[in-house]
Amino acid sequence: MILDAFRLDGKVAVVTGAGRGIGKAYALALAEAGADVATVDIHAAEETCAEIQALGRKAKAYAVDLSAAEQEAEPLVGRICEDFGRLDILVNNAGIIRREPFADHSAKNWNDVLAVNLSAPFFLSQAACRRMIAQGQGGKIINIASMLSFQGGILVPGYASSKGGIKSLTMLMANELAPHRICVNAIAPGYIATDNTAPIRANPERNQAILDRIPAGRWGTPEDLKGVCVFLASPASDYMTGATVNVDGGWLAR
């Protein structure tokens, strides 16, 4: 039956930035589809783990500062594999944003954003794919892109650059890892109601301008992203790699 192709029973997933918002939604979606989940966040995502365990799945929280992923990625993946026995799915969701005009954008803001949004997925994916290759059973890596993987945006040069880089990195990884049956795709969320977008939604004029351009007529929610995450993590997408999937209410089509 086709719905069986979306099941994740027996799989182990890692979700970064799983403590709240979109990352929490991804973690819960994978657990609802049958996966055990390791949550990674700068603060231990114990609440997310408790909700996963309530679904009957195994969960464990790992508190890691992903700005230091170059040093932390390999030990982290090693601990997860020791605790769960394997690794099948990696969702590189953790991200930060710093709003500042281009002419005044500080080196610190630039470096902080690139470290978490682009370097961390690179180093975590390296560590994860080595385990997946050694297991010999393939795997799924899901990166989180953005509408700014396609557009320039304003006031967020580090964020826009990191998300453009994620789109290209996803394609490169897909090319190199396909022989190992590791599929690498990205999700590009549109305007989603989270803590990161709260300042925009609090500005009545900016909020209305955004709504006027979204054909669906509303902001997205983290729950709107759960289905595509399960699809890309599951056998249903085994012949799909190198793609960036827009989930934006039609924003980019407008």
Residue numbers annotated as active site: 159
199, containing H or E segment: helix 198-201
Cα gap 85→107, rounded to integer Å: 40
Q: Is the dihedral of CA 191, 23, 168, 11 positive or negative?
A: negative
Neighbour count for residue 103 (Cβ, 10 Å): 6
Token pair in block for residue 59: 């969960």
The strand pair at 139-144 and 244-247 is best described as unpaired
- Looking from the CA of 36 toward its CB, the CA atoms found within 13 Å total 15
Token pair in block for residue 193: 């109601």
**Which of 26, 222, 19 shows the shortest CA–CA distance to 140?**
26
Cα gap 90→96, rounded to integer Å: 18
Cβ atoms of 214 and 251 within 8 Å: the answer is yes
Q: Which amino acid is at 215?
A: P
Q: Is 25 helix (H, G, I), strand (E, B) or coil?
A: helix
